[in-house]
Chains A and B, each alone.
Chain A
């Protein structure tokens, strides 16, 4: 019996030791002592579903042409991307190449997540992209990678609904927008909205705040001061924008906050809304033939005389902890500067195919295909033209928190929890307190 007990204990301890050894497997990123094995670089993006499918041919092309440097995409949902970067970085398993939203720039810079770009890349970016895109792909004034999606905001409208209400053109001023929205709006006997004249998309901070910042830019001001030390919400432009927002939802609003503007626009039930250029691609896929009813126009301004909007940027960067930075930059330079098809770069082709949106690289814009596209697609042209006057989305170190504050204050105003003046005062003071941290 004692022998049996000894054996049991010995087997258990041995099993435990083997289990621990199995769990501590080496997961190195392709670094081989001989140096002859192919290097595998992980590419972390938010391109899932159809976007992943659109990107894959270019990855496959690179992999075929570069057997020594293999790219392995690891896409996650947009909502999970920052968290994935964070947790993997802490665990020492960060991706070699990442696509980052530049609002996160402050957080990433604070923790030195991204490597500085080599001089060749810096020169390439500064010489071949518009200022808003270069600023978007920079942290603390230094270029960290290649701008990819540079999305401006504009007014999407349903031509059919506008025409049914007697309008041939989209609005140019905020008052015109409100007037048209009231005429387009239709409700049933119980007060339920059947057709919404104008609504703001809702659901998370970015989708509420970015149109706000675009409208504030159209009114003549950015949300924050240039030095990121104060908020401009209590400026004339800020107050006008908040007041406009108070007229859309809430007790005195022209429409019902419970109506889903995003779904409704895709279903042809919304006259107008504010959106970013990439949305056109999704609407085209969703609406099919009915997409012909959709138009896009520059952001209306308070008096119709000024142009203004914002552009937010996504950018490729290399992980500062990657063991294969040289190879990673090589791939990114190919992805963003080599001409592979239709006179455009792989990135340019991918953005067009996946999002029906244009690359901001000069050579892509000058290609015959892009010129033809801009001539034949007025929606893309609207958002491309807006790049000329768009200001970049401001990204202080506490950028995500600033946007969360603005979002919650606007939602509180819309749901009747506070007045317009309280919204401006509280948002202004909370944002400034956050900027001081």
Chain B
């Protein structure tokens, strides 16, 4: 009777899950598998019947000397991802710590989160104005201080760092949200005990807050890095084609152009598969490094 009841519960559970499972199968699993298959074909993107198998040709092409995929595109992608994560994570750690000591904590958190909920297209265009070498705000300040204006987005030496700054600024809000929530989960007892032992704010931060925040830090770093490695919209809005030259071209933008501008869906899918493998390896490394820690491991 009990076993019979358990089977019925299982059936009901699957019945409740079936819409979501179907959704993921149709909109995630099947497209991902299809994308992997396309990576081994030559397809123009118009007619499925014209798809034909070419083996590893697309992968050979993107890793060949003639291709810009490895350098500068992948190197730009890594620079962008690690740069934005470094900026947003370090800033978010500091901001969430400071916010936790201020009144109106909710208001501060909201203010820092606002860029996260604003459309990237709007943000990109605002920063385009800020960076404008002729009448942008930043160059207005620079020239006001007596220096020459800086051509942020047309100078290959400055273009990528300029976009990294924007990406890092964008990422602060969501990281602050997660890190502050993680900080709130740390019991006050630890800090009280540390105070009684004579530890100051700094010692408490490095000895208690950071180690107990490890799971949250792991989550923030993983999600931020994945987002950074897949970034596309900001570069598209601010430099249109990853220019000047390929100075700001990143993997996702190149994939988009290969597929939708040039009709090289096989090459685009091969690039996507390579990026997937890279993201997977980086995520595994992060999991291994940060797997220990958190409140539970110290309780």
Q: Which residues of A contact B (CB under 8 A)?
A: 2, 5, 8-9, 12-13, 16, 19, 82-83, 85-86, 89-90, 107-108, 110-113, 190-193, 203-205, 256-260, 398, 400-401, 404, 407-409, 411-412, 414-417, 430, 433
A111 CA to B44 CA in the complex, in Å?
A: 6
Residues on the B chain within 8 Å of A8, using CB: 12
- Residue on A nearest B66 in the bound complex, by CB: A433
Given contacts A5-B12, A417-B244, contact A89 B46 (CB under 8 A): yes
A-B contact count (CB 8 A): 116
Shortest distance between the CB of A411 and any CB in chain B (Å): 4
A111 CA to B50 CA in the complex, in Å?
A: 7
A411 CA to B242 CA in the complex, in Å?
A: 11
A40 CA to B263 CA in the complex, in Å?
A: 29
Q: Which of B147-170 contact A (CB under 8 A)?
A: 148-149, 151, 154-156
Q: Does any Cβ of A come within 8 Å of B75's Cβ?
A: no
The 8 closest A-B pairs by CB, nearest first: A111-B46, A412-B245, A258-B133, A415-B244, A107-B263, A111-B44, A89-B46, A83-B260
Can you list 24 pairs linking A and B with CB atoms under 8 Å apart? Answer: A8-B12, A9-B15, A16-B19, A19-B19, A82-B261, A83-B260, A86-B263, A90-B46, A107-B44, A107-B262, A110-B263, A111-B44, A193-B134, A400-B263, A404-B257, A408-B243, A412-B156, A414-B244, A415-B154, A415-B156, A415-B247, A416-B155, A417-B244, A417-B247
Across the interface, do A401 and B154 meet the contact criterion of CB distance under 8 Å?
Answer: no
Across the interface, do A82 and B260 meet the contact criterion of CB distance under 8 Å?
Answer: yes
Q: Does any Cβ of A come within 8 Å of B8's Cβ?
A: yes
Q: Does any Cβ of A come within 8 Å of B197's Cβ?
A: no
In terms of DSSP, what is the predominant structure of the interface of chain B?
A: loop
Q: Does any Cβ of A come within 8 Å of B25's Cβ?
A: no
A111 CA to B46 CA in the complex, in Å?
A: 6
Given contacts A5-B8, A107-B263, A113-B47, contact A258 B241 (CB under 8 A): no
A259 CA to B151 CA in the complex, in Å?
A: 10
Residues on the B chain within 8 Å of A107, using CB: 44-46, 262-263
Across the interface, do B47 and A411 meet the contact criterion of CB distance under 8 Å?
Answer: no
Q: Which residues of B contact A (CB under 8 A)?
A: 5, 8-9, 11-12, 15-16, 18-19, 22, 44-48, 50, 66, 132-134, 143, 148-149, 151, 154-156, 240-241, 243-247, 257, 260-264
Which of B47, B244, B246 has a CB less than 8 Å from the CB of A111? Answer: B47
A181 CA to B260 CA in the complex, in Å?
A: 38
Across the interface, do B261 and A404 meet the contact criterion of CB distance under 8 Å?
Answer: yes
Across the interface, do A259 and B245 meet the contact criterion of CB distance under 8 Å?
Answer: no
Shortest distance between the CB of B58 and any CB in chain A (Å): 12
- Residue on A nearest B155 in the bound complex, by CB: A415
Shortest distance between the CB of B20 and any CB in chain A (Å): 11
Shortest distance between the CB of A265 and any CB in chain B (Å): 15
- Residue on B nearest A110 in the bound complex, by CB: B44
Which of B8, B18, B243, B262 has a CB less than 8 Å from the CB of A411? Answer: B243
A5 CA to B148 CA in the complex, in Å?
A: 74
- Residue on A nearest B147 in the bound complex, by CB: A190
Which of B16, B22, B50, B156 has a CB less than 8 Å from the CB of A417? Answer: B156
Shortest distance between the CB of B105 and any CB in chain A (Å): 42
- Residue on B nearest A85 in the bound complex, by CB: B46
A186 CA to B46 CA in the complex, in Å?
A: 50
Across the interface, do A112 and B47 meet the contact criterion of CB distance under 8 Å?
Answer: yes
Across the interface, do A12 and B244 meet the contact criterion of CB distance under 8 Å?
Answer: no
Given contacts A13-B15, A257-B154, contact A89 B47 (CB under 8 A): yes
A269 CA to B18 CA in the complex, in Å?
A: 63
A203 CA to B238 CA in the complex, in Å?
A: 11
A416 CA to B247 CA in the complex, in Å?
A: 12
Across the interface, do A86 and B47 meet the contact criterion of CB distance under 8 Å?
Answer: no
A374 CA to B117 CA in the complex, in Å?
A: 53
A2 CA to B6 CA in the complex, in Å?
A: 12
Residues on the B chain within 8 Å of A19, using CB: 19
Across the interface, do B15 and A190 meet the contact criterion of CB distance under 8 Å?
Answer: no
- Residue on A nearest B12 in the bound complex, by CB: A9
Residues on the B chain within 8 Å of A113, using CB: 46-47
- Residue on B nearest A203 in the bound complex, by CB: B240
Given contacts A258-B133, A408-B243, A416-B156, contact A110 B262 (CB under 8 A): no
